[in-house]
């Protein structure tokens, strides 16, 4: 079942033209990076939750909720993105924040799934930010991306092309894009 879900995500992301800023070679070279990060008080950005009844939460694993959020992002169903990503956050954030605060480095290549809950919750916040960015809600997107950077500095997300990418790093790049776009307008 997980294999089928992965293939459908690969297909959907390929159609949507999704990409990240990491190459397979870079991902393969990833090793433990020792860095101390202060654990700030976590306060997630507030966004009203969509009507949940029209979405299927029968498989409420953090993995499935995150995959479903990606699928809805590819379809530009921003309400669906919000429903699935926020459900993941609602169910798993408390434990993910505790685990994330204990992380002092990125996990070695091949061990990324050992922090799957942290990765999926951080990715859910990232997906919300990405959806907000696509809706030209830059300030709200920046809040979401900053939340990832501050609370999940070592989270990684699987790319269907075959590697993990660093969620906080790509969040930082998205903030830079938003700020650059603001400068262009002004």
* Ordered per-residue pLDDT tens for the chain, 186 residues: 443 344 344 334 433 444 333 333 333 334 434 344 444 456 666 655 555 568 989 899 999 999 999 999 999 999 999 999 999 999 999 999 999 999 998 888 888 877 899 999 999 999 999 999 999 999 999 999 999 999 999 999 988 898 899 999 999 999 999 999 988 876
Q: How many CB atoms lie within 10 A of CB 45?
A: 17
Name 163's bridge partners: 159
Q: Residue 59, CB half-sphere, CA atoms under 13 Å: how many?
A: 10
How many domains does the chain fold into? 1
Which domain does 78 fall in, by range?
A: 2-185
Q: Please choose, from the candidates 13, 34, 15, 62, the residue with its C-alpha nearest in 3D space to the C-alpha of residue 162.
A: 13
């Amino acid at each position: 079942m997980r294999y089928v879900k992965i293939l459908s995500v690969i297909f959907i992301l390929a159609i949507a033209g999704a990409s990240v800023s990491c190459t397979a070679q870079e991902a393969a070279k990833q090793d433990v990076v020792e860095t101390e990060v202060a654990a700030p008080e976590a306060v997630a950005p507030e966004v009203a939750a969509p009507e949940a009844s029209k979405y299927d939460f029968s498989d409420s694993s953090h993995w499935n909720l995150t995959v479903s959020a990606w699928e809805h992002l590819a379809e530009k169903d921003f309400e669906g993105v919000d429903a699935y990503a926020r459900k993941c956050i609602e169910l798993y954030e408390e434990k993910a924040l505790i685990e994330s605060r204990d992380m002092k480095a990125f996990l070695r290549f091949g061990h990324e799934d050992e922090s799957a809950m942290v990765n999926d919750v951080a990715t859910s916040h990232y997906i919300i930010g990405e959806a907000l960015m696509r809706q030209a809600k830059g300030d709200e997107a920046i809040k979401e991306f900053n939340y990832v950077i501050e609370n999940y500095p070592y989270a990684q997300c699987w790319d269907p092309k075959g590697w993990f990418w660093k969620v906080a790093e790509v969040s930082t790049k998205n903030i830079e894009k938003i700020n650059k776009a603001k400068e262009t307008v002004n």
